[in-house]
A and B are shown apart, each in its own frame.
Chain A
Amino acid sequence: MDLKEKLVSSFLAFEATVDTSNTIHDLRTEAIKSFEAYGFPSKKLEAWKYTSLNSVLKNDFSLFPKSEVAIEYKDVKQYFINDIDSYKIVFIDGIYSSHLSETTHDKIDVCLMSSAFTQSRFKPVMDVYYNTIVKEDGLTALNTAFAKEGAYIYIPKNEAAAKPIQIVHFSTGADNEAMFQPRNLIVAEDNAEVTIIERHQNLSSSEVFTNSVTEIYAGKNAHIDYYKIQNDTNKSSLVDNTFTEQHDSSVCAVHTFSFGGKITRNNLNFFQKGQGIDSILNGVTILEGKTHVDHNTLVEHLEPNCESHQDYKGIFDEKSTGVFNGKIIVDQIAQKTNAFQSNNNVLLSDKATVNSKPQLEIFADDVKCSHGCTIGQLDESALFYMRSRGIATKEAKALLMYAFANNVLESVKVPQLKNRINKLIAKKLGVNLGFDV
């Protein structure tokens, strides 16, 4: 039985575990029908031209975690940004782990989707925002159908989350191959501020497939900083569907750091529904082995006087493949739009591949839109310069690559996180350099 059939037929069993009387469940039943119609995306779809999920979908995933597994904090401490005070929402095999987490309901809500789905006091917010920003396709419909757990973050008007929020998903391999479908909702009302760090970590050697959907709402003047750290094992695949709706003068930044995983697909969508908005999409991808990372971005400028900035850097070694498919749509009324997109890649091996497709679709005339894309190698003369001054080749190369990715790293506003990413990069490049000066 293939995965699609298995998912569709297990929906009945899933229904037994959730409250079927509320409106959320109506959405689920609608969504499973849509998924049945769409199915999983294939390479025939233009948006999936360069990424095939076949090697993932052939696994016989267990869909619902059977048992709760306890993890000691000391064993997973390294996967947290542990030198800062933060809220934590931690899931082990898709189930909330209260002893690793630190949530709050003090002024702001940092808690669980399962609570939001079931408790009536979240209903006003859920009714307005849940499932309204996401655009339906096979994978998002699938997620909506099985949505049960995830992070729920609500920042009311004029409030700021006092500390960053870490969302961490662990998988333990207790159920062998497992598929997870976390669903997150992040609402920052007018003038609200929040910083979020998300990570998926496989602790076993089993195959894991995560199909995650995150909806982000940014009210007027809201500031959202979202960091995604993707440094999973080579048995872990992730499809991250993130949808962001922004209103007047809001600033929303999503930074994606992809250093590992088997197949990682980031569907990052921004809808600008107000004026004076700034959307920032940054990414650093450093890969080796047979890893595959696909950044598929969409920024829709629907109102005048907005900006968007995209900056994706990629370094590809061995047999890794990188895909960048960026799309900017400027609506007819979105005059005075400034939209920038840049995708730079370095290929270190003849077996590595980069496929880049930076797209512009522009229907307004008074705009400044540009995109740039480069693919190249490290500068021989720069390497020689450093070699001639006593820097070993490996270190010299690492320095160049670090410099290459630096302007994206500069945009990381949490110093401890920046430090951590620097260390990850140093480890990745196999050098011991103090980048964090």
Chain B
Amino acid sequence: MSKFTEDDLKKELETKEYEYGFYTDIESDTFPVGLNEDVVRAISAKKNEPQWMTDWRVDAFRIWSEMEEPEWANVHYTKPDFQAISYYSAPKAADPNKSLDDVDPDLLEMYRKLGISVDEQKKLQNVAVDIVVDSVSVATTFKKTLAEKGIIFMPISEAIQEHPELVKKYIGSVVPKTDNFYAALNSAVFTDGSFCYIPKGVKCPMELSTYFRINEGGTGQFERTLVVADESSYVSYLEGCTAPSRDENQLHAAVVELIALDDAEIKYSTVQNWFPGNAEGKGGVFNFVTKRGLCENNAKISWTQVETGSAVTWKYPSCILKGNNSIGEFYSIAVTNNFQQADTGTKMIHLGKNTKSTIISKGISAGKSQNSYRGLVQISPRAENARNFSQCDSLLMGNECGAHTFPYIEVKNKSAQIEHEATTSKIGEDQIFYCNQRGIDTEKAIALIVNGFSKEVLNKLPMEFAVEAQKLLEISLEGSVG
């Protein structure tokens, strides 16, 4: 067997093409490009939304038009031209009233290639999937099972029609329209997304799951996810993203809001594999996402993410620990390759007493990519006995990539206990040597080390998702993950 060295791995990483880069030909119902107040109103009208929602969108649009695009992140890219994007694209085949059998076979084929066949999900994995293709949900499974428990899990566009009181109460309560440039844009033009409500005391019996895909060229994806866990409830929510190959950069500006009321727990897991651009750094998705959760008393929010895709990633899943004894967690693996750039991390805002947060961030950079961790841990003066532990480790493969750490720690209470540590290293020659010595070849050794490096985070993923995550890590680092 030929010797597989780190150099080989490097080369392989550099030449590895995006495996899911195919394009399914479905007729789309697409708006002409450009953005103005009329487009916002048209989206709202298309969705048949009530007046309050239209007003909310228009208000967000007005706020957005006065905002400037932020530039502080450690990423470099050509800014998207917001007038060159089409803000609405729905597969013509989509009709929420159809059964699974009626779903466009092309679409099903697409999911089959991605290995997330709806049928399979339904039958084998006991996962309810709310599939979003180009912003409109095409199939919702297990709705009935969930309905028996009183759980609402549906596209947000339907939720606006069927449960306006819940949507109205919570939308924008964690990520206000004014929050930032992309959140404002999303608020104005979001076309669909998921809505989930877990009633008091209910433990959601299955993992809820959404797969997002960007399909039509030149369309932006603006989904909006809202998860509300009422008192003493529990939900585990999975979000997976894959996008086909495109030459021009595509914009993805989503907003995810989580609300965990007293004693509730939300576990939110993401596997993100948007198209990262090819080996020359051409194309790829811009992923500018605002994710934030609010914890009331004794509540817990846990973010787990595996980031392998996107040309530019810019996101900080955050927890506002408002209630006493609330807990925030953030587990992340970010893999960048070729010309990918990632600026990701978390914010833990400790407001309540006895609040705890844990941050584990693992960055793996290869090729010519740049990988940054940017995090904020803030302890307010009234947050007695707050506790934070942060660990950010970076692994560098090759000498053309970069790993950066920008942790912000702001403490205004003396009883706080904060620990932050970060390390940067490459796969040690001595570690590989140690393995070689014991009869493990270099390829396996690298696999072992990378696996061990990411294990803390991989272990946090729900069983159903671990497979997918493993798959994606393989795409990015094939030959190194066993």
Is there a chain A Cβ closer than 8 Å to B19's Cβ? no
Residue of A at shortest CB range from B401?
A365
Is there a chain B Cβ closer than 8 Å to A376's Cβ? yes
Name the segment of A78-86, A157-165, A220-228, A350-358 touching the other chain.
A350-358
**Interfacial chain B residues near A350, Cβ < 8 Å:** 381, 412-415
Interface residues of B in 41-61 (CB under 8 A from A): none
Given contacts A350-B381, A356-B409, A358-B422, contact A365 B399 (CB under 8 A): yes
Interface readout for B63-102 with A: 1 if CB under 8 Å, 0 if not? 0000000001000000000000000000000000000000
Is there a chain B Cβ closer than 8 Å to A369's Cβ? yes
Q: Are A360 and B416 in contact (CB under 8 A)?
A: no
Q: Are A358 and B420 in contact (CB under 8 A)?
A: yes
Is there a chain A Cβ closer than 8 Å to B419's Cβ? yes
Q: Are A377 and B397 in contact (CB under 8 A)?
A: no
**Interfacial chain B residues near A63, Cβ < 8 Å:** none
Choice from A332, A353, A357, A376 contacting B418 with Cβ under 8 Å: A376
Min distance, Cβ B404 to any Cβ of chain A, angstroms = 5
Residue of A at shortest CB range from B389?
A374
Q: Are A370 and B394 in contact (CB under 8 A)?
A: no
**Interfacial chain B residues near A373, Cβ < 8 Å:** 407, 409, 418-421
Name the segment of B118-126, B128-136, B423-431 touching the other chain.
B423-431
Min distance, Cβ B362 to any Cβ of chain A, angstroms = 15
Is there a chain A Cβ closer than 8 Å to B173's Cβ? no
**Interfacial chain B residues near A372, Cβ < 8 Å:** 419-422
Q: Are A335 and B402 in contact (CB under 8 A)?
A: no
Bound-state CA distance A363–B402 (Å) is 4
Residue of B at shortest CB range from A374?
B419
Bound-state CA distance A372–B391 (Å) is 9
Q: Which of B410, B414, B418, B425 neighbours the largest number of chain A CB atoms within 10 Å of its CB?
A: B414
Given contacts A347-B416, A354-B409, A373-B421, contact A366 B400 (CB under 8 A): no
Choice from B72, B409, B412, B415 contacting A357 with Cβ under 8 Å: B409
Interface bracket on A: 35 or more
Is there a chain B Cβ closer than 8 Å to A126's Cβ? no
Is there a chain A Cβ closer than 8 Å to B227's Cβ? no
Choice from B415, B420, B425 contacting A367 with Cβ under 8 Å: B425
Q: Are B411 and A368 in contact (CB under 8 A)?
A: no
Q: Are B405 and A359 in contact (CB under 8 A)?
A: yes
Q: Are A365 and B398 in contact (CB under 8 A)?
A: yes
**Interfacial chain A residues near B413, Cβ < 8 Å:** 347, 350
**Interfacial chain B residues near A377, Cβ < 8 Å:** 414-415, 417
Q: Are B408 and A355 in contact (CB under 8 A)?
A: yes
Given contacts A365-B396, A366-B399, contact A375 B409 (CB under 8 A): yes
**Interfacial chain B residues near A8, Cβ < 8 Å:** none
**Interfacial chain B residues near A26, Cβ < 8 Å:** none
Bound-state CA distance A299–B69 (Å) is 31
Choice from A46, A358, A365 contacting B426 with Cβ under 8 Å: A365
**Interfacial chain A residues near B425, Cβ < 8 Å:** 367-369
Bound-state CA distance A376–B409 (Å) is 12
Bound-state CA distance A373–B416 (Å) is 13
Is there a chain B Cβ closer than 8 Å to A371's Cβ? yes
Q: Are A357 and B408 in contact (CB under 8 A)?
A: yes
**Interfacial chain A residues near B406, Cβ < 8 Å:** 357, 359
**Interfacial chain A residues near B405, Cβ < 8 Å:** 358-361, 371
**Interfacial chain A residues near B412, Cβ < 8 Å:** 350, 352-353
Q: Which of A353, A356, A360, A364 neighbours the largest number of chain B CB atoms within 10 Å of its CB?
A: A360
**Interfacial chain A residues near B159, Cβ < 8 Å:** none
Min distance, Cβ B445 to any Cβ of chain A, angstroms = 17
Q: Which of A335, A345, A362 neighbours the largest number of chain B CB atoms within 10 Å of its CB?
A: A362
Is there a chain A Cβ closer than 8 Å to B214's Cβ? no
Is there a chain B Cβ closer than 8 Å to A431's Cβ? no
Residue of B at shortest CB range from A368?
B425
Q: Are A335 and B399 in contact (CB under 8 A)?
A: yes
Bound-state CA distance A207–B409 (Å) is 31
Interface readout for A370-391 with B: 1 if CB under 8 Å, 0 if not? 1111111100000000000000
**Interfacial chain B residues near A365, Cβ < 8 Å:** 396-399, 401, 426
Q: Which of A354, A360, A365 neighbours the largest number of chain B CB atoms within 10 Å of its CB?
A: A365
Bound-state CA distance A359–B405 (Å) is 5
Residue of A at shortest CB range from B414?
A347
Interface readout for A189-209 with B: 1 if CB under 8 Å, 0 if not? 000000000000000000000
Bound-state CA distance A365–B365 (Å) is 9
Is there a chain B Cβ closer than 8 Å to A426's Cβ? no
**Interfacial chain B residues near A374, Cβ < 8 Å:** 417-420
**Interfacial chain B residues near A356, Cβ < 8 Å:** 407-411, 420
Interface residues of A in 317-340 (CB under 8 A from B): 332, 335
Residue of A at shortest CB range from B10?
A365
Min distance, Cβ B421 to any Cβ of chain A, angstroms = 4
Min distance, Cβ B320 to any Cβ of chain A, angstroms = 19
Is there a chain B Cβ closer than 8 Å to A132's Cβ? no
Bound-state CA distance A361–B415 (Å) is 31
Q: Are A369 and B424 in contact (CB under 8 A)?
A: yes
Choice from A46, A349, A362 contacting B402 with Cβ under 8 Å: A362
Is there a chain A Cβ closer than 8 Å to B461's Cβ? no
Is there a chain A Cβ closer than 8 Å to B403's Cβ? yes
Is there a chain B Cβ closer than 8 Å to A348's Cβ? yes
Bound-state CA distance A357–B373 (Å) is 12
Bound-state CA distance A353–B380 (Å) is 10
Min distance, Cβ B410 to any Cβ of chain A, angstroms = 5
Known pairs A347-B414, A371-B405, A371-B422 / 10 extra A-B pairs, C-beta < 8 Å: A332-B399, A347-B413, A350-B412, A359-B405, A362-B394, A363-B401, A367-B426, A368-B425, A371-B420, A373-B420
**Residue contacts A-B, CB under 8 angstroms, 30 given:** A335-B399, A347-B414, A347-B416, A348-B414, A353-B410, A353-B412, A354-B410, A355-B409, A356-B411, A357-B406, A357-B408, A359-B405, A360-B405, A361-B404, A363-B399, A364-B399, A365-B397, A367-B396, A367-B425, A368-B423, A369-B423, A370-B423, A371-B422, A372-B419, A373-B418, A373-B420, A373-B421, A374-B417, A375-B418, A376-B419
* Minimum-distance CB pairs A-B, first 8: A365-B396, A347-B414, A375-B418, A373-B420, A356-B409, A360-B405, A369-B424, A370-B423
